[in-house]
Structure 1
Amino acid sequence: MKKRFRIKKNEDFQFVFRKGKSFANRQLVIYYVEKPGQDHFRIGLSVGKKIGNAVTRNRIKRYLRQAFQELDSSIKYPYDIVIIARNPTKNMEYEEIKKSLIHLMYKERLLKK
């Protein structure tokens, strides 16, 4: 995932939290807001310290970035998306995290058909 497609600034995260819609399952929470005029979606990842140590948190973020990279062509574009990892993700493998992410995005109609 290219860095220009990531949300890094706190005000961008806060905008998505305030103005966006949210949906959750047991493993992940997704916030998203439509951003007309954007030529690509942007993602922000949040994995709190309660999840585990830095190695665990970085592994989860790496898995989520890889899942987004594989789903790149099927995600609708003018959106800013923030993913928050919940506690069960620390024990999950890549395929389980990807399946959970696809489930959330399918439910919220963020995937192209």
Structure 2
Amino acid sequence: MEKAYRIKKNNDFQKVYKKGKSVANRQFVVYTRKNKDLEHFRLGISVSKKLGNAVQRNRIKRAIRENFKVHKDDIIPIDLIVIARQPSKEMTTLQIQSSLEHVLKIAKVFNKRIK
């Protein structure tokens, strides 16, 4: 994922947490906040140390990033933070992808083309 598509700074994370809206399912929580400055989405990923060692956490983060690469053109310009919950550590990449698509549809971050 390119640098322009990432949220890295704590200040940016805090803005999305405080002023954004959240939706969730059992595996993920997604915070969204309108982004008026950019023409594309930005993504922040949070995976707690409670979910496992670095190998497990990085596997979850890679699966989340891969899902956003697939849907790169279908997401409206918005700031997103994805927080992985406990059940996500036992999931395969395809299960993570379908669960993440489900919660993103609830959050209404897709363009009208995706149903």
Do the structures match in fold with TM over 0.5? yes
In structure 2, the partner of 1:2 is 2
Residues 30, 107 of structure 2: 8 Å contact kept: no
Ranges of 4+ aligned residues in structure 1 off by more than 3 Å:
none
In structure 1, the partner of 2:33 is 33
Provide the C-alpha distance between the structure 2 equivalents of 1:20 and 1:39, rounded to a whole number of angstroms: 18
In structure 1, the partner of 2:21 is 21
Could you say what secondary structure the match of 2:4 adopts?
A: helix
Provide the C-alpha distance between the structure 2 equivalents of 1:57 and 1:3, rounded to a whole number of angstroms: 20
Unmatched 5+ stretches in structure 2 = none
The number of residues matched between the two structures is 112
Q: Percent identity?
A: 48
Give the TM-score, by structure 2 length: 0.95
Deviates more, 1:48-57 or 1:34-43: 34-43
Give, in angstroms, the shift of residue 17 of structure 1.
0.2
In structure 1, the partner of 2:73 is 73
What RMSD over aligned residues (CA atoms) do the two structures have, in Å?
A: 0.7
In structure 2, the partner of 1:95 is 94
Give the TM-score, by structure 1 length: 0.96
Unmatched 5+ stretches in structure 1 = none
Give, in angstroms, the shift of residue 87 of structure 1.
0.5
